[in-house]
């Protein structure tokens, strides 16, 4: 437990010390909220779908968590390049504990980022439909953070090139995000398109957030929660295995 706490605390300290990184991570969510929320809002409303900002905000919150969580994996490559990982792995501690600490640290950072974006969303007009569901919304946010931090760390454990990592991440992140239903309703989609979305774990996180924050779940909150928990456990196990096989 001491190792897990130390790795978790290290990730948080890095986040709070990097003010440009914190500000930079908010740029893209702000762009989506303002440009899409107010730009496409009138079109969405004329189509009879209501307030687009109410629909969009949960998706943008999930997006901010996704990007921050996935890129947390680069810390593994960074530590390997500068020798910190070697010092950590040769210590008489379990690699599983190191992996858990890194994953929890990255997930906590992504979770905080999501809360900040949620507060910004409320400031520009988003309204939570049922405040009683806010704790469950926080659970969904942390599950998204944990799942994609573990995925990013698993991928980084198999890579050594720091420059290639962002390219691989963007190759994965953009389809995951755009095929999650974060920007558009899931009703009336072609069968093939709908099937792809159904196997995307982020789609369940977005739907869960939308159901808890704006009472507009398409799949169902209970299904969303069950799928997110199951996939998070599986990816965390895979990530732990990949990290345990890392070579220094």
Q: Which two tokens stand for residue 201?
A: 């774990």
Overall average pLDDT of the 200-211 stretch: 93
* Structural domain range at position 159: 2-244
pLDDT, tens digit, 9 for 90 and up, residues 109-143: 889 889 999 999 998 888 898 889 999 999 999 99
Give the chain's domain count.
1
Alpha helices (runs of H) in 164-244, residue ranges in sequence order: 164-178, 191-198, 201-214, 221-244
pLDDT, tens digit, 9 for 90 and up, residues 138-164: 999 999 999 999 998 888 877 776 677
Quick one: pLDDT band at residue 86, thresholds 50, 70, 90?
low
CA distance 182 to 205: 10
Going by C-beta distance under 8 Å and a sequence separation of 6 or more, which residues neighbour residue 209? 58, 59, 61, 62, 137, 140, 141
Q: Are 244 and 95 in contact (CB under 8 A)?
A: yes
Q: Which two tokens stand for residue 132?
A: 């009683």
Q: Which residues of 6-16 are buried (b: 16+ CB within 10 A; e: fewer)?
A: ebbebbeebbe
pLDDT, tens digit, 9 for 90 and up, residues 210-246: 999 988 888 889 999 999 999 999 999 998 888 777 7
* Burial degree of 68 (CB within 10 A; 0-12, 13-18, 19+): buried
């Amino acid at each position: 437990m001491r190792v897990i706490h130390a790795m978790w605390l290290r990730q948080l300290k890095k986040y709070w010390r990097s003010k440009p990184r914190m500000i930079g991570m908010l740029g893209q969510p702000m762009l989506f909220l303002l440009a899409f929320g107010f730009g496409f809002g009138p079109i969405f409303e004329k189509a009879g779908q209501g307030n687009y900002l109410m629909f969009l905000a949960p998706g943008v919150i999930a997006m901010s968590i996704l990007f921050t969580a996935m890129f947390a994996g680069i810390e593994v490559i960074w530590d390997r390049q500068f020798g910190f990982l070697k010092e950590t792995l040769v210590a008489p501690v379990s690699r599983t504990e190191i992996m858990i600490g890194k994953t929890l640290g990255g997930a906590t950072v992504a979770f905080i980022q999501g809360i900040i974006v949620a507060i910004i969303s409320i400031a520009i007009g988003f309204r939570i439909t049922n405040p009683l569901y806010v704790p469950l919304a926080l659970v969904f946010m942390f599950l998204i953070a944990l799942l994609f931090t573990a995925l990013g760390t698993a991928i980084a454990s198999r890579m050594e090139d720091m420059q290639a990592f962002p390219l691989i991440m963007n190759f994965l992140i953009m389809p995951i995000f755009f095929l999650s239903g974060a920007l558009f309703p899931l009703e009336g989609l072609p069968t093939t398109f709908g099937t792809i979305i159904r196997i995307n774990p982020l789609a369940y996180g977005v739907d869960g957030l939308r159901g808890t924050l704006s009472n507009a779940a398409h799949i169902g909150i209970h299904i969303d929660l069950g799928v997110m928990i199951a996939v998070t456990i599986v990816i965390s196990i895979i990530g732990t295995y990949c990290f345990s096989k890392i070579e220094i």
